[in-house]
């Protein structure tokens, strides 16, 4: 097992409980594996597929994901293939012949393909090492990436009762885990939960205040020349934001489901193959993106729940090096997402779950304490400290203030104006603005007119946003979108509870060089300090990597990750023996690229 790890993948040790999962699978046991993105889930089924007799069948939801994983495995000298709708019939026949002849160790298929009766009959004629169900959260109807065909995968337990099955995901709260176990008929499976912490990711959340400018200030300060993803809620906003970033000197591309298919695929391929590209996208972009050196993920609109947020931010820093998750949110986001829920065709019980999930991410945005701790708690995990040292709230003191009187004034104003108006109008009333609308509605004569002059318009916006997020106000979608009181608001109006508002702060972004991972991060997560001649060597190796990738028509990270380049700069191997000590360089890559690497390093010594 250790020899396969080193020779095929170039790693000298297992991470976390990888070895325990592999041992359990080799012994024929079933498993549910939860590991954070970049935590090494794939090895948990790849190594058993190499060690057990037969072929490992991997169920994967997207063609792009299969393709990239197979290319990466082939780069490591592993015999892998995929069967999906992108192949011609003769290509499928060739792969099936290779599988029959024992020439393939790992075969990737979509759930739709696997569930075809003729394909199941084919599988019954093969020696199968295991079944791996990747992205297993897709089975959950409560989840953010539901795939109906995943529901049919329980058939594997009856058609292949003696073949070990392993379900894997990075994103599943406790109800979703239970649903995975039930729907995949894995009730007797061992559950391995690695935790949900991504210590190399810094979480930054800001109330909206010219969000594009906030984004630009952030990436200019932290991520010059880096690859990143910017998520927006609408296709129009994706297009506008991408064009705007281009006008500001960034190499930005749009991506959404309404684009021409070929253009969309071209932009995705460019993002994977080229350095320094920023993709601006709807959530149509993401699953199946295995690019390890995405240095930031930014949300210009609020995600619909914490599962989506965790999944999407997990696309940053898959290589374990320091990365950022940046989010701006506002009242319009909350109103729009609530509207989506209320106007959907879903059953009321599903709407209730979605409302609770939306409330959870709103609370995550507004809380003054450690964001990592709150995020992990949501998924049933626990951070060992109340201060993670790598989120905005832990890095900057968050001030709060006693907001009972202000909350009472805000709620009273909603009530006195008959629960019909939006935030802008309500703030005008509180500030005593005498405009035509207020005069025409007669609200210059109500008791709340002008009683809020002690706070600025910006502070009142924050107050209304936090009251809505905490459930003291709701948006009336059946009317004109005005704010209305909830049952919960009575306890504030009666003064029965205390309420504290957090002060909105403007982040002063540091230079990129100061953006280090948390001091509590494990050693393997830290990036080496590269300067002077070492920086020159790193750039030379990076250019060599790009040249090798372009010759083969594959993304550069599939040749070597940034982490491997860092290891090469640190070790500076002089021969093949020393090259074998470099992270991520197994026997196949050493054979293919060893001469090129050693030549670059030798020239650097001259």
The pairing of strands 278-281 and 227-231 is parallel
What residue ranges of the chain have pLDDT lower than 50? 511-531
Are both 186 and 38 inside the same structural domain? Answer: yes
State the pLDDT at residue 286.
67
Are both 383 and 408 inside the same structural domain? Answer: no
Are both 461 and 556 inside the same structural domain? Answer: no
Are both 404 and 391 inside the same structural domain? Answer: no
Residue 468: CATH number of its domain: 1.10.10.10
Are both 236 and 346 inside the same structural domain? Answer: yes
User: Looking at the domain assignment, is residue 514 inside a domain?
Assistant: no
User: Looking at the domain assignment, is residue 73 inside a domain?
Assistant: yes
| Nearest C-alpha neighbor of 305 from the set 530, 140, 548, 522 | 140
Are both 205 and 313 inside the same structural domain? Answer: yes
| Contact predicate 424/364, CB 8 Å | no
Are both 188 and 216 inside the same structural domain? Answer: no
| Range list of β-strands (E), 530-603 | none
CA distance 427 to 284: 37
Which of 360, 395, 430 lies at the terminal end of a domain, its last residue? 395
Are both 115 and 211 inside the same structural domain? Answer: no
User: Looking at the domain assignment, is residue 600 inside a domain?
Assistant: yes
| Nearest C-alpha neighbor of 290 from the set 305, 268, 307, 310 | 268
CA distance 211 to 300: 6
Chain CA centroid to CA 489, Å: 35
Which of 173, 193, 213 lies at the terminal end of a domain, its last residue? 193
State the pLDDT at residue 177.
87
User: Looking at the domain assignment, is residue 189 inside a domain?
Assistant: yes
CB atoms within 10 A of CB 75: 18
Q: What is the pLDDT of residues 497-529, one digit of tens each?
A: 999 888 876 665 554 434 444 433 333 333 344
Distances (CA, A) of 93 to 34, 89, 109, 118: 35, 6, 14, 13
CA distance 184 to 167: 8
Full domain range(s) for residue 410: 400-502
CA distance from start to end of the chain: 40
SS3 65: helix
Are both 427 and 532 inside the same structural domain? Answer: no
State the pLDDT at residue 359.
82
User: Looking at the domain assignment, is residue 540 inside a domain?
Assistant: yes
State the pLDDT at residue 476.
74
DSSP state of 528: P
Are both 429 and 572 inside the same structural domain? Answer: no
User: Looking at the domain assignment, is residue 110 inside a domain?
Assistant: yes
CA distance 81 to 257: 27
SS3 83: strand
Beta bridge partners of 190: 31
| Contact predicate 55/105, CB 8 Å | yes
Number of domains in the chain: 4
Question: Half-sphere exposure (CA, 13 Å, Cβ side) for 253?
Answer: 20
User: Looking at the domain assignment, is residue 521 inside a domain?
Assistant: no
Residue 102: CATH number of its domain: 3.40.50.300
Which of 502, 519, 553 lies at the terminal end of a domain, its last residue? 502
Residue 591: CATH number of its domain: 1.10.150.80
State the pLDDT at residue 334.
84
State the pLDDT at residue 480.
66
Are both 136 and 108 inside the same structural domain? Answer: yes
User: Looking at the domain assignment, is residue 518 inside a domain?
Assistant: no
State the pLDDT at residue 141.
67
Are both 594 and 556 inside the same structural domain? Answer: yes
């Amino acid at each position: 097992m250790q020899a396969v790890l080193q020779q095929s993948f170039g790693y000298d040790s297992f991470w976390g409980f990888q070895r325990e999962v592999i041992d359990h699978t080799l012994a024929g046991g079933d498993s549910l594996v939860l590991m954070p993105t970049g935590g090494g889930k794939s090895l948990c089924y790849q190594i058993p597929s190499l060690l057990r007799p037969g072929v490992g069948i991997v169920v994967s939801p997207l063609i792009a994901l299969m393709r990239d994983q197979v290319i990466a495995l082939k780069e490591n000298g592993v015999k892998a293939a995929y069967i999906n709708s992108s192949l011609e019939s003769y290509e499928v026949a060739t792969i099936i012949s290779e599988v029959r002849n024992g020439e393939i160790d790992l075969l990737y298929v979509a759930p739709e393909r696997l569930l075809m009766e003729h394909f199941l009959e084919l599988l019954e004629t093969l020696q199968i090492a295991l079944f791996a169900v990747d992205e297993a959260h897709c089975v959950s109807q409560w989840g953010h990436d539901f795939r109906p065909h995943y529901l049919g995968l329980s058939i594997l337990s009856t058609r292949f009762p003696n073949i070990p099955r392993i379900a894997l995901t990075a994103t599943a709260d406790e109800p979703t885990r239970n649903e995975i176990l039930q729907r995949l008929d894995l009730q007797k499976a061992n559950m391995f939960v690695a935790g949900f912490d991504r210590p190399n990711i810094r979480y930054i959340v800001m109330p909206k205040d010219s969000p594009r400018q906030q984004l630009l200030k952030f990436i200019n300060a932290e991520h010059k020349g880096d690859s990143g993803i910017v998520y927006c809620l609408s296709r129009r906003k994706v297009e506008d934001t991408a064009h705007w970033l281009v006008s500001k000197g960034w190499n930005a591309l749009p991506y959404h489901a309404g684009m021409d298919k070929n253009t969309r695929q071209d932009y995705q391929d460019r993002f994977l193959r080229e350095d320094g590209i920023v993709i601006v996208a709807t959530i149509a972009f993401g699953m199946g993106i295995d690019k390890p050196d995405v240095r930031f993920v930014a949300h210009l609109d609020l995600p619909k729940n914490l599962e989506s947020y965790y999944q999407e931010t997990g696309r940053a820093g898959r290589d374990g090096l320091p990365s950022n998750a940046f989010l701006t949110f506002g009242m319009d986001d909350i109103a729009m997402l609530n509207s989506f829920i209320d106007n959907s065709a879903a059953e009321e019980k599903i709407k209730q779950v979605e409302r609770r999930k939306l409330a959870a991410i709103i609370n995550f945005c507004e809380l003054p304490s450690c964001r990592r701790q709150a995020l992990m708690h949501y998924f049933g995990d626990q951070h060992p400290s109340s201060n993670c040292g790598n989120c905005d709230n832990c890095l900057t003191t968050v001030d709060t203030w006693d907001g009972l009187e202000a909350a009472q004034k805000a709620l009273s104003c909603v009530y006195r104006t008959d629960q019909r108006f939006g935030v802008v109008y309500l703030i005008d009333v509180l500030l005593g603005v005498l405009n035509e609308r207020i005069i025409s509605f007669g609200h210059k004569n109500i008791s709340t007119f002008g009683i809020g002059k002690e706070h600025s318009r910006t502070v009142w916006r924050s107050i209304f946003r936090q009251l809505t997020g905490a459930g003291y106000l709701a948006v009336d979608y059946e009317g004109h979108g005005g704010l209305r009181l909830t049952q919960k608001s009575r306890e504030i109006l009666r003064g029965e509870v205390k309420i504290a508002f957090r002060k909105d702060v403007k982040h002063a972004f540091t230079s990129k060089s100061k953006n280090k991972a948390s001091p509590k991060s494990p050693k393997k997560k830290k990036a080496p300090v590269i300067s002077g001649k070492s920086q020159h060597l790193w750039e030379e190796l990076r250019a060599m990597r790009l040249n090798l990738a372009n010759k083969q028509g594959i993304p550069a990270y599939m040749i070597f990750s940034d982490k491997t380049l860092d290891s090469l700069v640190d070790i500076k191997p002089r021969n093949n023996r020393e090259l074998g000590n470099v992270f991520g360089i197994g026997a196949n890559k050493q054979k293919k690229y060893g001469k090129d690497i050693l030549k670059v390093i030798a020239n650097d010594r001259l």
